[in-house]
Amino acid sequence: MSNSTITASPPKHAKSGKGKKPASLWSDAWYDLRHSKVFLFGAALALLLVIVAAFPSLFSPLDAFDKSTCDLARARDGLDATHWFGSDNLGCDTYSRVIYGARVSIIVGIVATLVTSLVGGFLGLLAGFYGRWTDVLLSRVAEIFFAIPSILGALLILAVVGRDNAGIGSVVLALSVLAWPLVLRIMRAAVITTKSQDFVLAARALGAGPIRIMIRHILPNALAPVIVVTTMNLGVFIAAEAGLSFLGVGIQSPDISWGLMIADARNRFLEAPAPLLFPALFLSITVLAFVMLGDAVRDALDPKLR
Amino acid sequence: MASKGELILEVRDLVKHFPLTQGIVVKRQIGSIKAVDGVSFDLHRGETLGIVGESGCGKSTLAKLLMALETPTSGSVRVAGKDLATAKGADLKRIRRNIQMVMQDPYTSLNPRMTVGDIVGEPFEIHAEVAPKGDRRKKVQDLLEVVGLNPDHINRYPHQFSGGQRQRIGIARGLALQPEIIVCDEPVSALDVSIQAQVINLLERLQDEFGLAYIFIAHDLSVVRHISDRVAVMYLGKVVEIGKDTEIYDRPSHPYTQALLSAVPVPDPEGRESRERIILQGDPPSPANPPSGCRFRTRCWKAQEICAQEEPLLQIRPGVGHPSACHFAEAHDVVHATG
């Protein structure tokens, strides 16, 4: 390093630590996350659930979809060595059904989150960046969807769309239709804040076009709040899927869903609590895992919201 | 140094009014903020024009107009003969190569998610014809070296640099397209005094090296005097006095300029006692509703009937060697006056 040039100053770090590398927002956030017990716990749990959802046969010796494994004679039997979580009304093994039920929850959570984030994020970027009538139009449309009470709206959509093709697709559609306006609002607000910053003005002065300004300058600086909402939405959607399935408009038998299992077991709860309690427990743990993940990501990316 | 080069920037009757609207659904215009109201000046190659004035006088709006970041309400900005105000698309892009900007705050003017190399190299990506792809990295490193930064730091992020270094990055970005004009909008006011001197010296060195012309906007009169060949004084959207730096500083003729200069801090406590201080009464009037006639008359100790009725034009007045917009212009050395 020559003497005539000026070397970079020692980095500033939000939380001063010894020997830490200089950091940007993302590496700062990543540092915070790696040292957050909540995040590590939530991430481990979420990872485990994703693996369970992807390869349920690794965790359950019985195939829950194979009806021949059910034995009506064992209906509502208690827990034992081969049927860890007991059996349900039809004598099917609750443990294998709980394991196989993870897939629906995880798929609905991830796909609905992706759809809402992409649609809401993209439209929010347009609304915030172009402003004027684009913003008026998109924001008003979003507000119309926002005004629909979520459970009622989902029931309605599923009653219409889901009548002929019930299943994961309809549930994802119902949740996405109702949830994208939230992402749009958050993205729009973040874009408007970023748009007025000096470095965007500097890019315009250089002659940068709108696409370059949006992708290179605004998006990377406006993404943090959307990532926070996205992570939080995962848990919310999983809970919502269970709720809709419980109400009988979501996933339908013979597909397996925790909400559906809870609904099936509720009438005989006092007699046989296990077929209701175990899916409920797994549902709670799953939602908790993603909510913890969302909380940790929010703390790391957006300390102001804490 | 001000040997007059060719004319490269010509600003004529530049006006920017921001509409004031009322109503939510149907917007009615109920007035306008006259941020810049009829500004004209010339800039020659290699020259520095300082623009001074208090907060809210329209300096920064003027800078944005010069950079085509705002569209003027009327008037023209000609860069090397081509009108920036009406140019569009590819024409505008070509003109922009000739006029670049250094912004005020080095902490907000650099994208925190881009490396220094990307920031300084972005002009080449936008104006791909300036540098072929393979040369760009080398060019960026050259630019960093020119502004006194270590070219090895090309992959670092802005937050890893100090304020002065960041401003150097901003200057390197401004230089990338080899413009003839650089608009500096308060380029040192966010920096420490010691760093200010470094950056000013860098700007002066670059001017000699590349023959740049600067529009140097600031409210620090001593900085402006140091760097400028000519100085324009703005008040409420208008230029009230313009002339060579020596004319403005030693023989100010407009009462506002005199008041402004009398407020410059004097480092010598002895001289401070004896020198003249002009204290203005009141605040600047609202640019939405400027006074009739002379805009300064509400705060001027010389104001007469004529000042309210007739607007004083910016022209050479008897006994004053440079244009001044005052009916009662009279050269009077404030800075060196004693007793």
Determine the Cα–Cα distance for residues A277 and A287; give it in Å rounded to an integer: 15
pTM for the model? 0.78
CATH number for position A262: 1.10.3720.10
- Closest residue of chain A to B89, computed from CA coordinates: A207
Look at residue A5 and tell me whether its pLDDT is greater than 60. Answer: no
Q: Where are the beta strands (DSSP E) in chain B?
A: 7-22, 28-44, 48-52, 74-79, 82-83, 99-102, 181-185, 213-217, 230-235, 238-244, 315-316, 323-324
Q: Which residues of B touch A9 (CB under 8 A)?
A: 160-162, 165
Q: Which residues of B touch A205 (CB under 8 A)?
A: 67-69, 96, 100-101
- Closest residue of chain A to B92, computed from CA coordinates: A207
Phi, then psi, of B228 in degrees rounded to 5? -90, 150
Cross-chain Cβ contact B145/A5 below 8 Å: yes
Which class would CATH give B7-98+179-324? alpha beta
Selection from A26-30, A174-178, B318-322 with the highest mean pLDDT: A174-178
Name the pLDDT band for A10 (thresholds 50, 70, 90): very low
A275 is a domain residue: yes
Cross-chain Cβ contact A221/B123 below 8 Å: no
Q: Within an 8 Å CB–CB cutoff, is residue A3 touching chain B?
A: no
Cross-chain Cβ contact A7/B150 below 8 Å: yes
The more confidently predicted of residues A298 and A130 is A130
Q: Which residues of B touch A29 (CB under 8 A)?
A: none
Look at residue A166 and tell me whether its pLDDT is greater than 80. Answer: no
Determine the Cα–Cα distance for residues A63 and A57; give it in Å rounded to an integer: 7
Determine the Cα–Cα distance for residues B60 and B287; give it in Å rounded to an integer: 14
Our count of domains for chain A comes to: 1
Q: Which of A12, A199, A212 sits opposite B159 (nearest CB)?
A: A12
pLDDT at A80: 72
Q: Which residues of A touch B103 (CB under 8 A)?
A: 198, 201-202
Determine the Cα–Cα distance for residues B158 and B108; give it in Å rounded to an integer: 10
Look at residue B220 and tell me whether its pLDDT is greater than 70. Answer: yes
Look at residue A91 and tell me whether its pLDDT is greater than 80. Answer: no
Cross-chain Cβ contact B173/A206 below 8 Å: yes
Test the B interface: residue of A198, A218, A227 with most B CBs within 10 Å: A198
Cross-chain Cβ contact B103/A197 below 8 Å: no
With a pLDDT cut of 90, the percent of chain A lying above it is 9
- DSSP-derived letter for residue B134 is G
Q: Which residues of A touch B97 (CB under 8 A)?
A: 207
Q: Which residues of A touch B169 (CB under 8 A)?
A: none
Cross-chain Cβ contact B160/A221 below 8 Å: no
pLDDT at B249: 82
Q: Within an 8 Å CB–CB cutoff, is residue A73 touching chain B?
A: no
Q: Which residues of B touch A206 (CB under 8 A)?
A: 96, 100, 122-123, 126-127, 173, 177
A36 is a domain residue: yes
Tell me the average pLDDT across B56-78.
85
Look at residue B276 and tell me whether its pLDDT is greater than 50. Answer: yes
Write down the ipTM of this complex. Answer: 0.81
* Lowest-pLDDT choice from B109-113, B130-134, B241-245: B130-134
Distance from CA of B249 to the nearest CA of A (A): 32
Q: Within an 8 Å CB–CB cutoff, is residue A303 touching chain B?
A: no
Q: Which amino acid is at A202?
A: A
Selection from A186-195, B15-24, B38-47, B55-64 with the highest mean pLDDT: A186-195
pLDDT at A14: 41
Q: Which of A8, A202, A221 sits opposite B161 (nearest CB)?
A: A8
Q: Within an 8 Å CB–CB cutoff, is residue A1 touching chain B?
A: yes
Look at residue A115 and tell me whether its pLDDT is greater than 90. Answer: yes
Name the pLDDT band for B199 (thresholds 50, 70, 90): confident
Look at residue B270 and tell me whether its pLDDT is greater than 80. Answer: no
Q: Which residues of A touch B142 (CB under 8 A)?
A: none
pLDDT at A122: 93
Whole-Å CA distances, A300 to A33, A236, A288, A304 = 6, 20, 18, 10
Cross-chain Cβ contact B109/A202 below 8 Å: yes
Q: Within an 8 Å CB–CB cutoff, is residue A136 touching chain B?
A: no
Test the A interface: residue of B60, B160, B186, B191 with most A CBs within 10 Å: B160
A134 is a domain residue: yes
Name the pLDDT band for A119 (thresholds 50, 70, 90): very high
Q: How high is the mean pLDDT of chain B?
A: 82
Look at residue B225 and tell me whether its pLDDT is greater than 70. Answer: yes
Determine the Cα–Cα distance for residues A124 and A236; give it in Å rounded to an integer: 21
User: A261-288 pLDDT, tens per residue?
Assistant: 888 878 877 777 777 888 889 889 888 8
Look at residue A96 and tell me whether its pLDDT is greater than 50. Answer: yes
Tell me the average pLDDT across B84-99.
82
A173 is a domain residue: yes
Cross-chain Cβ contact A25/B162 below 8 Å: no
Determine the Cα–Cα distance for residues B194 and B216; give it in Å rounded to an integer: 19
Enclosing domain of residue A161: 25-62+80-305
Tell me the average pLDDT across A139-161.
86
Say if CB A203 and CB A220 are below 8 A apart. Answer: no
Cross-chain Cβ contact A207/B96 below 8 Å: yes
- DSSP-derived letter for residue A201 is H
Q: Which residues of B touch A202 (CB under 8 A)?
A: 101, 103, 109-110, 170, 173
Q: Within an 8 Å CB–CB cutoff, is residue A196 touching chain B?
A: no
Determine the Cα–Cα distance for residues B41 and B49; give it in Å rounded to an integer: 9
| Termini Cα distance of chain B | 34
pLDDT at B2: 45
Q: Which residues of B touch A24 (CB under 8 A)?
A: 112-113, 157, 159
Determine the Cα–Cα distance for residues A22 and A16; give it in Å rounded to an integer: 11
pLDDT at B177: 85
User: A24-43 pLDDT, tens per residue?
Assistant: 667 777 777 888 888 888 88
pLDDT at A116: 92
Q: Which residues of B touch A207 (CB under 8 A)?
A: 92-93, 96-97, 126-127
With a pLDDT cut of 70, the percent of chain B lying above it is 95
Q: Domains of chain B: which residue ranges?
A: 7-98+179-324
Instruction: Please report how the helices A258-265 and A274-301 are oriented relative to each other, as an axis angle in degrees rounded to 10.
Output: 140
The more confidently predicted of residues A61 and A206 is A206
